[in-house]
Amino acid sequence: MDRKINLAVIGTGRMGSVHVRNVARLVPEANLVAICDIRLEAAQPLAEELGIPRVVKDYHELLADKSIEAVLIATSTDTHDFIVRDAAQAGKHIFCEKPLALDLKKINDALAAVKSAGVKLQVGFNRRFDKSFRKVHEVVASGEIGRPCIFRITNRDPDFPAIEFMRVSGGMFLDMTIHDFDMVRFLSGSEAEEIYTMGAILVDPEIGRAGDVDTCVVTMRLANGALATIDNSRKAVYGYDQRVEVFGSAGMVAVLNRTPDTHVHFAANGVHSATPLYFFLERYADAYVAEMQEFVRCVQAGATPPVTGRDGLVPVIMGLAATRSLKEGRPVRLDEIR
Amino acid sequence: MDRKINLAVIGTGRMGSVHVRNVARLVPEANLVAICDIRLEAAQPLAEELGIPRVVKDYHELLADKSIEAVLIATSTDTHDFIVRDAAQAGKHIFCEKPLALDLKKINDALAAVKSAGVKLQVGFNRRFDKSFRKVHEVVASGEIGRPCIFRITNRDPDFPAIEFMRVSGGMFLDMTIHDFDMVRFLSGSEAEEIYTMGAILVDPEIGRAGDVDTCVVTMRLANGALATIDNSRKAVYGYDQRVEVFGSAGMVAVLNRTPDTHVHFAANGVHSATPLYFFLERYADAYVAEMQEFVRCVQAGATPPVTGRDGLVPVIMGLAATRSLKEGRPVRLDEIR
Amino acid sequence: MDRKINLAVIGTGRMGSVHVRNVARLVPEANLVAICDIRLEAAQPLAEELGIPRVVKDYHELLADKSIEAVLIATSTDTHDFIVRDAAQAGKHIFCEKPLALDLKKINDALAAVKSAGVKLQVGFNRRFDKSFRKVHEVVASGEIGRPCIFRITNRDPDFPAIEFMRVSGGMFLDMTIHDFDMVRFLSGSEAEEIYTMGAILVDPEIGRAGDVDTCVVTMRLANGALATIDNSRKAVYGYDQRVEVFGSAGMVAVLNRTPDTHVHFAANGVHSATPLYFFLERYADAYVAEMQEFVRCVQAGATPPVTGRDGLVPVIMGLAATRSLKEGRPVRLDEIR
Amino acid sequence: MDRKINLAVIGTGRMGSVHVRNVARLVPEANLVAICDIRLEAAQPLAEELGIPRVVKDYHELLADKSIEAVLIATSTDTHDFIVRDAAQAGKHIFCEKPLALDLKKINDALAAVKSAGVKLQVGFNRRFDKSFRKVHEVVASGEIGRPCIFRITNRDPDFPAIEFMRVSGGMFLDMTIHDFDMVRFLSGSEAEEIYTMGAILVDPEIGRAGDVDTCVVTMRLANGALATIDNSRKAVYGYDQRVEVFGSAGMVAVLNRTPDTHVHFAANGVHSATPLYFFLERYADAYVAEMQEFVRCVQAGATPPVTGRDGLVPVIMGLAATRSLKEGRPVRLDEIR
């Protein structure tokens, strides 16, 4: 085994604490040496539970610690860009939750800092590490379905996030659809050229007052000629609906939802089975572990992580194009977004 | 039982001969008294096989026969409108294959003739009679899935039609997607207001030379606020892919493909099962029978058939809007089409 | 096309009228020249509906008619053997519903008459003609699953037959399980050597008073070394449960139930879909047609029908062995039954 | 949170090391204070990997340590009974892998020691903790399927165990089927009264020379009147086949296999998907964690563990009855086994 990596986690909120537990328990190649949160009272019990030796309130303390080789950034979105910049300048390898920022200039500045420091950066597009989506990626890449013609993604959340989150999230396209934009890029190995969006407020009028939509259909044309269609909803009462399908000239490969159990109940009034796994923490539990294992392996091996800075940048551009398409009621070319 | 209806079939090509066999064998409420085809040599053996007493070459002969109450028109598309007009003027009830015509003026003239004659007209949107789609219609109409938000349709043919057919078919939107336009109307009980289309030539360059596309994604906004997305391909190597899904505020209802058998083979290299039923003749065999049974019942009962002249007209308008959207690269409102 | 066969149907009750309609509509190679029922009032309307020229009360009239080449016997079980015998002596080819009789001597006498007359005999084990079971047969025969090790059959009716029927049916093993005995023979190409039966009265005590069971599990050892297990119930509230699975040294092949439609409803409380097709008339509609088409083809071609007299005899022997096993609480070898 | 339990693991082979990792990582209510293995070289690296402070070769050392409250026994089967006895006498709570022993006297002696010491004992029937089987248990217990009539279990391993293991395993019924015997008891809440077994050597003649079978079908009659049927194979090339179905007077509930991913590949030659999870370590990964969490909770709360000593005893009696039935070719009553 390669030597262990000393790693610290910055941000121990919902996503951060998932990462902390995963690294502590299931990434033996990493020493989780410290965690950081401006709300010390959140970080402290987590550190005790897992035997993490150090808890700090200010991430600069960790960046100043020469023994720490890598940081995982899971703070709120509006802080990602400058923590990435600071961490890069401190020479730390970086795993950063998505999105890097909602603003292209901030992202570009952060990426420039990463580049000039020569550190590794991996962006948290966790779905690429899901076994089913990886399998689709493999099948497409193998050529088994021929030339990809249509990418079709369904991504529906089981329930609305808190309205405060929605106000700062950048809107549906930068918060939810961004995962699908990443997935289209991951599966196609190509880039979107043009995006057209229809959106609607059908479930909760509150969303509209916050300036967002709760339902959308996005259509894209890719550089390789293929088409893509994505549908999203903020509220699927039957649970987290996460499906992908790639149709090609020689076949189709699709991913179905996963369920918490596989029971089937045959009754006089129908056949009943379980709804999909409730939400991302359940559905992508394995993927969150796998992405961290991969990040640590890349740091150990000096390899380029599989989700790069550019992979963090482009989906934001796509989200901005989708947003503009919605506002202007017309297809928007990606090169219009700067 | 009500008295039997005397019915004649005009056009005994591929679809016509399906109807002829269905009526002769499985619609006991109808007397199939005559069939007609300009190629007498095609109609004759069919009449012999089924014991149909009369075969003619010119449909005017049938229209002149007072004992014939209803005609089924299954000739080539470019003849539908004037045969409908002639049949209406002769006082015959009419079942006509889709589309009524590719030109709005022709359709409107034919419908005016039907209206002024006071005869029944049913248009052959057979998929409305498929048990699975009817079930989806019922579930949506019952309110069980709440407010419909997203209609999602996949319609992919297993193989290209003959290139000669494609040249006169009016293009993908008027030939294939027209069924999906009808399905959206049937399931939503609403009308499209705006249509945006992306199309591509990905499988057969020959299609492009004929001025058509072989792959498309269509997005629509409906009057009730819901969104719809349709994807089509001319060639799905795994068979006829016919799926529908309606996502609503209180649930989702979907239709999966049907297979010729339900065997499942578990081997060391995977689990294998049958591909979907090959094409429309297999997939919609029951629906073709059911639509004729319904037509005959409506004629017997003096009731309005379930797929009206207007149901024949609107999908053509939608097809023309989709075609214009493809050409002009922008969303097209239905009220632009006249 | 070969010349048409003149065929008559004897018995127009539930099964008989299914055969009559199938032959009249969907077996163009046969002329249905006459039908016969001791209750003329049952046969008459059927003949009118389908335009069958002749209706008789006494089957001997049909046997005396030289123009009739084949008869289909769908009378009550206790009359099968002597009608088969009479028909054979009259030189008619015979399709006879299962079982041939509940008594080995009667069956042997009937088969002897068939043999000495040199006529064709096909027994109505319709499930062999179901597309899914045929596919399993093919996969097993091809060697794709290696050496068959376990045959597992589930056969559960949706509801009890009339109690009068049950009294004369010969009991569960000769009425229901007989189909599974046939299926094991069909799929394995081997013969049972030993049968052990557990039965119970769990649903309706009335059954017990009639001397029968309503639930059973049958285990068998086949001559080729494989094992088989069958479970039956008289009442599955979720519909007709018809599954088969063959497990072999190199894989497994199974058949799932068919449903009337393929809708799936995703609700907050679960995912709901359709129960299996209700009962044998729906589930095996195609198989009833296919077996008659095959019978007529064999008569036309002078070929041996695919379900022979021996195929009619052996499952009765198996049913008698299963019955004895139940009574005596021990495994019974087939060679104990004479 | 209740205070943590000091726990030691005895035996760090295949199953033992799974338990060690699970307790260390995923059972925060337990302090894993020591592990023990006669092959110190196996235990040492595991202790290092997980930071376990103490490793011993002789389990008596652990039993003598007053600070240790509970032990997990995962040594080879032939040592279970006396380690249980010793641990009980030392006042430790005990989690013991199945089976307790292959010999009734040994089991009874061990259980007597447990009883007289008043310690908790949980036996490692892990499948009871699988979410899908728990769901079936719940549905059956709720009465939703009415009176249970038929329990049907399929349990097939993907490959043979090592031949040395098979020689000491007690044979198929005490090694494999024992899980199914437990499952029937768990799901039915009833006891078997009579067992009949058919077995065969169909895959590997070597098995026969070792005095065992590789394929079997077991039929049982339960005290509540229901029937049960189990089929087992040592080698299913398509993976670990783990299905259960309970058929009742008011419905049926079943469990399907789980797969590593949910991709579906639609190709011209069929529809392909993943085989079941390979073997017990993958299929029951969650159940192994859940059973330990439950054991620790019971020790903390002073509650009776959900899988008791009697639950460890009865399946062995059933296995002995099944073995005798195979040898004597007749149904064997459980009360014949003493």
- pLDDT digits 0-9 by tens, D253-269: 999 999 999 999 999 99
Q: Are D158 and C249 in contact (CB under 8 A)?
A: no
Are residues B270 and D266, on separate chains, in Cβ contact within 8 Å? no
From B225, B237, B251, residue closest to A237, measured CB to CB: B251
- The per-residue b/e assignment along B142-153, b for 16 or more CB within 10 angstroms, e otherwise, is eeebbebbbbbb
Picking from C65, C1, C73, C2, the residue whose alpha carbon sits closest to that of residue C33 is C65
ipTM: 0.95
Tens digits of residue pLDDT in A79-88: 999 999 999 9
Are residues C156 and D247, on separate chains, in Cβ contact within 8 Å? yes
- What's residue A2's pLDDT? 63
User: For A93-113, what is the mean pLDDT?
Assistant: 97
Q: Is a pLDDT exceeding 60 seen at residue C1?
A: no
Tens digits of residue pLDDT in C61-109: 999 999 999 999 999 999 999 999 999 999 999 999 999 999 999 999 9
Candidates C214, C227, C230: best to mutate against D (most CBs of D within 10 A) is C227
Q: How far is B35 from chain D (nearest CA, A)?
A: 38
- What's residue D165's pLDDT? 81
- What's residue A3's pLDDT? 82
- What's residue A143's pLDDT? 97
- What's residue A303's pLDDT? 97
Q: Is a pLDDT exceeding 60 seen at residue D196?
A: yes
Q: Which residues of chain B lie closer than 8 angstroms to A150, CB-CB?
A: 215, 217, 231, 233
Band the pLDDT of A206: cuts 50, 70, 90. confident
- What's residue C130's pLDDT? 98
Q: Which residue has the tokens 């990463």?
A: A114
Q: Which residues of chain A lie closer than 8 angstroms to D257, CB-CB?
A: 262
- For D138, nearest residue in chain A (alpha carbons): A263
Q: Is a pLDDT exceeding 60 seen at residue A187?
A: yes
Burial tier of C54 (Cβ tally within 10 Å: 0-12, 13-18, 19+) = middle
- Please tell me whether the peptide bond between C99 and the residue prior to it is cis, using omega within 30 degrees of 0: yes
Q: How far is A189 from chain B (nearest CA, A)?
A: 17
User: For A150-169, what is the mean pLDDT?
Assistant: 90
Strands (E) across C88-128 are located at 93-96, 121-123
Q: What's at C295, amino acid-wise?
A: F
- What's residue B163's pLDDT? 79
- What's residue D224's pLDDT? 97
Q: What is the CA radius of gyration of chain B?
A: 20
Are residues B273 and D274, on separate chains, in Cβ contact within 8 Å? no
For residues C51 and A3, the model is more confident at: C51
Tens digits of residue pLDDT in C132-161: 999 999 999 999 999 999 999 999 999 998
Q: Is a pLDDT exceeding 60 seen at residue D1?
A: no
From C152, C194, C219, residue closest to D219, measured CB to CB: C219
- For the entire predicted model, the pTM comes to 0.96
Are residues C252 and B262, on separate chains, in Cβ contact within 8 Å? no
- The helix, strand and coil proportions of chain B, stated in percent and rounded to the nearest 5, come to 40, 25, 35
Are residues A266 and D257, on separate chains, in Cβ contact within 8 Å? no
User: For A277-304, what is the mean pLDDT?
Assistant: 96
Tens digits of residue pLDDT in D70-127: 999 999 999 999 999 999 999 999 999 999 999 999 999 999 999 999 999 999 999 9
Q: How far is A75 from chain C (nearest CA, A)?
A: 32
Are residues B272 and D275, on separate chains, in Cβ contact within 8 Å? no
Q: Which residues of chain C lie closer than 8 angstroms to D196, CB-CB?
A: 196, 198, 219, 331
Band the pLDDT of D207: cuts 50, 70, 90. confident
The DSSP 8-state label assigned to residue A243 in this structure reads E
Q: Is a pLDDT exceeding 60 seen at residue A1?
A: no
Q: Are D226 and C200 in contact (CB under 8 A)?
A: yes
Residues 6+ positions from C94 with CB-CB distance below 8 Å: C70, C71, C72, C73, C84, C87, C88, C114, C119, C120, C121, C122
- What's residue D45's pLDDT? 95
- What's residue D2's pLDDT? 62
- For A158, nearest residue in chain C (alpha carbons): C268
Average pLDDT value for chain D: 96
Q: How far is B264 from chain D (nearest CA, A)?
A: 9
Compute CA distances A151 → A180, A243, A252, B177, B239, whole Å: 10, 11, 10, 18, 18
- What's residue C323's pLDDT? 97
Tens digits of residue pLDDT in A56-83: 999 999 999 999 999 999 999 999 999 9
Q: Is a pLDDT exceeding 90 seen at residue D316?
A: yes
Q: Is a pLDDT exceeding 60 seen at residue D7?
A: yes
Q: Measured on CA atoms in the order C159, C165, C167, C171, is the torsion positive or negative?
A: negative
Q: How many CA atoms lie within 13 A of D144 on its CB side?
A: 21
- What's residue B89's pLDDT? 98
From A149, A235, A241, residue closest to B215, measured CB to CB: A149
Q: Which residue has the tokens 């297809």?
A: A331
Q: Is a pLDDT exceeding 70 seen at residue D317?
A: yes
Band the pLDDT of B183: cuts 50, 70, 90. very high
Estimate to the nearest angstrom the gap between the alpha carbon of A144 and the chain centroid.
27
From D236, D241, D272, residue closest to B270, measured CB to CB: D272
User: For B300-324, what is the mean pLDDT?
Assistant: 97
- For A197, nearest residue in chain B (alpha carbons): B219
Tens digits of residue pLDDT in C263-310: 999 999 999 999 999 999 999 999 999 999 999 999 999 999 999 999
Average pLDDT value for chain C: 96
Chain C residues near any Cβ of chain D (below 8 Å) = 146-147, 149-150, 152, 154, 156, 194, 196, 198-200, 202-203, 215-217, 219-221, 225-229, 231, 233, 235-238, 241, 247, 249-252, 329-331
- Length of chain D measured in residues: 338
Are residues A202 and B229, on separate chains, in Cβ contact within 8 Å? no
Task: Return the structure tokens found at B244.
Answer: 């529908």
C-beta atoms surrounding C9 within 10 Å: 31
Q: Which residues of chain B lie closer than 8 angstroms to A329, CB-CB?
A: 331
Chain A residues near any Cβ of chain B (below 8 Å) = 146-147, 149-150, 152, 154, 156, 196, 198-200, 202-203, 215-217, 219-221, 225-229, 231, 233, 235-238, 241, 247, 249-252, 329-331
Tens digits of residue pLDDT in D28-87: 999 999 999 999 999 999 999 899 999 999 999 999 999 999 999 999 999 999 999 999
Q: Is a pLDDT exceeding 70 seen at residue A171?
A: yes
